[in-house]
Amino acid sequence: MAELTARSDPRAAELDVAAIKRDFPVLAERFRGRRLVYLDSAASAQHPLPVLRAQEHYYEHAHANVHRGVYALAERADQLYERARLTVGRFIGAPDPAREVVFTKNATEGLNLVAQAWGRRHLRPGDVVVVTELEHHANLVPWLMLAEERQLELRWLEIDEGFRLDLSRLTEVLRGARVLAISAMSNVLGTMPPVAELAEAAHRAGALVVVDGAQLVPHQPVDVGSLGADFLAFSGHKMCGPTGIGVLWGRAELLAATPPFLGGGGMIKDVRRDGFVPDDPPQRFEAGTPPIAEAVGLAAAIEYLQGIGLDRIAAHEHHLTAYALERLQQRFGRDLVIHGPREPEARGAVLSLAYRDVHPHDLAQVLDQAGVCVRAGHHCAKPLMRRLGVAATARASFYLYNDEDDVEALADALASAGSLFG
């Protein structure tokens, strides 16, 4: 696999993207005779062979339901599932991986779990939840739902002209707050707020910090301790893992003080006619048969990414983003607007594009003709789109398997959109 091709000092070596591309079967697909230029990893990443093989291997050799079987096969499934939990926990620096990692369906479910289970138990009418203008609906709507039910006060951290969070009123906004719900990287602008700094301020104000890590965790090394998170949610499918699995990490004592979210099998110690005793975390939050094969696939994805090195992936994406910002600017000048921080250091690898007055839907359609996959729409961040004054953007995003040729393909395709809509 690709990691073996790294040179002697793997930290310093650039990624061998050609070798990495070969690990991803779908990247060899051709559409209308053209190679696939996949620039939509922010929506969902592609899968390398080790992930596909791990899941296949699980189904061929180890599948049974977890937690209930005494036979050897079930024990295998159990072991793989719990080992996956440890792999995930270590990946994000969880102090107590066995107890703090909850498998969910996706990042969205993890954030809903925090709002619906922790929030509903601990928040009272008038309590303040601080959200940011950068949020994806996944870290917004659950709080809006709870605010409606519990008469919470929602306060907003807004963005400034440079597409960063405006922190000038931070102390005021956080005063008396119980929760700071914040995305560690915007899926529209690429903005990466200083989460650690904000978490410190939030903690001083007595608020818990709920981090939406859906965009950050796949792309750079994350340590929940240095991030200052109390809860962190992310999705498997954005980090080369399967769909149908996500992770909610929570500090052990917080999870212990959180009532169940969904009820059913696997999450109880006892059930009587008149009540039940919930199990301890993380099982308390995993009602019903969990996504076992997906957990195995996610662990394989993490091992694949670690084999290459998250710091190297981050450096590669940083380089590619800087290259793309410069190249596109050079080639299209004022015809192309890229919503998001100008400085490549301060942003992740997503580029929200506005090309002349070509509607993003039309732009994405023309790019598709060249095999270039970008996403057009509001990216589930309508308050942010409103703030930007646009209904939609066309978003290109990069991952470890993208290279400068992909950026050139994007640029060429943009040029052809220009001539069509002239």
Partner 1 sequence: MNDLEDLYREIILDHYRNPRQRGELPTPPATRAEGFNPLCGDEVVVFLQVEGDRLVDIRISGQGCSISQSSASLMAAAVKGKSLPEVRRLIATFKAMMSVHGTALGSDADGEEPSGEAEDASGIVPVDLDSLGELAALQGVVKFPVRIKCATLSWNTLAQGLDELAAAR
Ligand X SMILES: Cc1ncc(COP(=O)(O)O)c(C=O)c1O
- Report 31-60 residues binding ligand X (CB under 6 A): 43
Pick the stretch among 17-25, 101-109, 321-329, 354-362 that binds partner 1 (CB under 8 A).
354-362
- Report 310-369 residues binding ligand X (CB under 6 A): none
- Helical H segments across 104-223, by residue range: 107-113, 120-122, 141-150, 170-174, 195-204
For the CB of residue 334, give the shortest distance to partner 1 in the complex, in Å. Answer: 20
Interacting partner of 194 out of partner 1, ligand X, none (Cβ under 5 to 8 A depending on kind): none
For the CB of residue 247, give the shortest distance to ligand X in the complex, in Å. Answer: 11
Which residue in 343, 364, 344 sits closest to 353, CA to CA?
A: 364
For the CB of residue 2, give the shortest distance to ligand X in the complex, in Å. Answer: 25
Which CB, 17 or 373, lies closer to ligand X? 373
Residue 163: left if φ>0, alpha if ψ -120 to 50, beta else—which one?
left
Interacting partner of 366 out of ligand X, partner 1, none (Cβ under 5 to 8 A depending on kind): partner 1
What's the burial of 239, exposed, middle or buried (CB within 10 Å: 0-12/13-18/19+)?
buried
Interacting partner of 108 out of ligand X, partner 1, none (Cβ under 5 to 8 A depending on kind): ligand X
Distance CA 40, CA 49 (A): 19
Residue 267 to residues 182, 276, 282, 418, Cα–Cα distance (Å): 29, 10, 9, 56
Helix axes 310-332, 404-421, angle to 10 degrees: 30
Catalytic residue among 380, 390, 411, 415: 380
CA 391 to chain centre: 23
- Report 356-415 residues binding partner 1 (CB under 8 A): 359-362, 365-366, 369, 376-378, 382, 385, 391-392
Interacting partner of 362 out of ligand X, partner 1, none (Cβ under 5 to 8 A depending on kind): partner 1
Strands 336-339, 350-355: pairing kind? antiparallel
For the CB of residue 77, give the shortest distance to partner 1 in the complex, in Å. Answer: 35
Which CB, 201 or 376, lies closer to partner 1? 376
- Report 123-142 residues binding ligand X (CB under 6 A): 136, 138
Please confirm, yes or no, whether 240 is among the known catalytic residues: no
Q: Are 202 and 254 in contact (CB under 8 A)?
A: no
Please list, residue by residue across 12-24, b when 16 or more beta carbons sit within 10 angstroms of its beta carbon and e when fewer do: eeebbbebbbbbb
Which CB, 252 or 346, lies closer to ligand X? 346
Which residue in 75, 35, 397 sits closest to 238, CA to CA?
A: 397
Pick from 41, 87, 108, 393 the residue near ligand X by CB under 6 A.
108
For the CB of residue 132, give the shortest distance to ligand X in the complex, in Å. Answer: 11
CA 79, 84, 87, 93 dihedral sign is negative
Strands 177-183, 153-157: pairing kind? unpaired
Which CB, 254 or 415, lies closer to partner 1? 415
Which CB, 36 or 45, lies closer to ligand X? 45
Tokens 């072991």 correspond to 79
Which CB, 314 or 411, lies closer to ligand X? 314
Told to check if 214 binds ligand X by CB under 6 A, we report yes
Tokens 């890229």 correspond to 338
Size of the site for ligand X (CB under 6 A): 14
Distance CA 415, CA 172 (A): 47
Pick from 87, 112, 215, 397 the residue near ligand X by CB under 6 A.
215
Active site residues: 380
Report the interface residues with ligand X, using CB under 6 A: 43, 106-108, 136, 138, 183, 187, 212, 214-215, 235, 246, 380
Write out the residues near partner 1 by the rule CB under 8 A.
359-362, 365-366, 369, 376-378, 382, 385, 391-392, 420-421
